[in-house]
Structure 1
Amino acid sequence: MNSLSIFTHTGLELFLREITATDIPQIMTLERSAHTHPWRQSSFEDCLKGRQKCWLAESKNLLVGYVVVTHGGGDAELLNISVAPQFQRKGIGQCLLAHAVNCVKGKADMLFLEVRVSNRKAIELYSKEGFFEVGQRKNYYPTVNGHEDALLMAMQLDPI
């Protein structure tokens, strides 16, 4: 199994490794704590069977985040990225995003993502890391009171 150790800009040591089926219950706990409308467990299970790259980040043996990215046909898509609420704003999301970019470099020209228009923290991170707005999807995400738009963002990937 692939794994690596990296440090966030705040000095927090992270261990990144590929997600396995035994990680899914713990991932679902984090997913539910971070999102009002979490992914279904079957979505994570399907990702482990496909061409998606699924990585988790641990610090001091605690799951602190994960990222799921895929590629095909010259493009890549960031499917899911989450950081446990108590560990947000410590550079973990930035590290996971950088790792996702590295996973698809050389396999795609562009990396796309969708993000809730209300998720200002994520939009700020993506913009800082080189993503730019390419459009919106109306009523894409469910909310407690209906739906909200998704902001479509993209990043040009440099060849390896």
Structure 2
Amino acid sequence: MMWKLLHKLKDAVLYDADRDFYAKVFPDSVESRDLLRMRKMDHSDLPSVLKIESLNYNYPWSEGVFKDCFRAMNYVNWVCEAPEDMIVGYCIISVAAGEAHVMNISVSPDFQRQGAGRKMLEHLIEYARSRAHKLYLEVRPSNLAAVNLYRQTGFREIGVRKGYYPAKEGREDAIMFELDLVPML
């Protein structure tokens, strides 16, 4: 019971004053990735989220899809912010029946390959760890940076969904990944 309360408290923490202090006084002592913060997404974030979505995808989610994610009881939506409260990415997870599924994770093109994607993925893994046994996701095979990140983070390929994503030339498959969240004995 106490660990659930601690996880809820951890999810609510938004600001690390020590880290921000050291970043300002000793800028070389903190990696830029460590200055990024995660917080729950709210409706006022949608313009920034939709902009990132449209910059990254030829077939972006609509505003209605994101609003549905707010309404779904088992979905949790986050944004990743740079120190100036600029949204640099967002991620959405669904947790139900002992399984978690990364629904969407996206980083602004200006912040890609700087650790924001890894920070969000690690946040989702930590969130899911106390709530599910496995974490699943799908990714386009053409998204090599994401495929490599998932493999580096411990995900393993479990299959392919044929024609899962819309593409300029018809459909693109999805690689299905799985991460065990319960340590094997």
TM-score range, shorter chain: over 0.9
Distance 1:152 1:119 in 2: 13
Matched, 1:4 2:14: yes
Give aligned pairs, total.
158
| Contact 1:115–1:150 (8 Å) recurs in 2 | yes
| Contact 1:3–1:15 (8 Å) recurs in 2 | no
2:64 maps to which residue? 42
Runs of 4+ in structure 1 over 4 Å off = none
> TM-score, with normalisation over the residues of structure 1?
0.92
Distance 1:10 1:35 in 2: 28
| Contact 1:34–1:84 (8 Å) recurs in 2 | yes
Residue 73 of structure 1 deviates from its aligned partner by 1.0
> TM-score, with normalisation over the residues of structure 2?
0.80
Matched, 1:57 2:57: no
1:82 maps to which residue? 106
Structure holding more helix per residue = 2
Residue 3 of structure 1 deviates from its aligned partner by 4.4
Specify every segment of 5 or more residues in structure 2 that has no aligned partner in the other structure, as ranges.
Answer: 1-10, 20-29
Secondary structure, in 3 states, of the residue corresponding to 2:32?
coil
Instruction: Identify which range, 77-86 or 102-111, moves more after superposition.
Output: 102-111
Residue 40 of structure 1 deviates from its aligned partner by 1.4
Which structure carries more relative contact order (alpha carbon 8 Å, separation 6+)? Answer: 1
Matched, 1:92 2:116: yes
Matched, 1:144 2:168: yes
- Aligned pair partner of 2:37 in 15, 18, 29: 15
Compute the RMSD of aligned alpha carbons.
Answer: 1.8
Secondary structure, in 3 states, of the residue corresponding to 1:4?
coil
Structure holding more strand per residue = 1
| Contact 1:5–1:15 (8 Å) recurs in 2 | yes
Write the deviation string for residues 84-123 of structure 1: whole angstroms up to 9, x where unpaired.
0110001110000011111111211100000001111000
Amino acid across the alignment from 1:55: W
Amino acid across the alignment from 2:77: C
Residue 11 of structure 1 deviates from its aligned partner by 2.6
Amino acid across the alignment from 1:65: G
Alignment of 1:116-131 (within 5 A): 116-131=140-155
- Structure showing greater Rg: 2
Specify every segment of 5 or more residues in structure 1 that has no aligned partner in the other structure, as ranges.
Answer: none
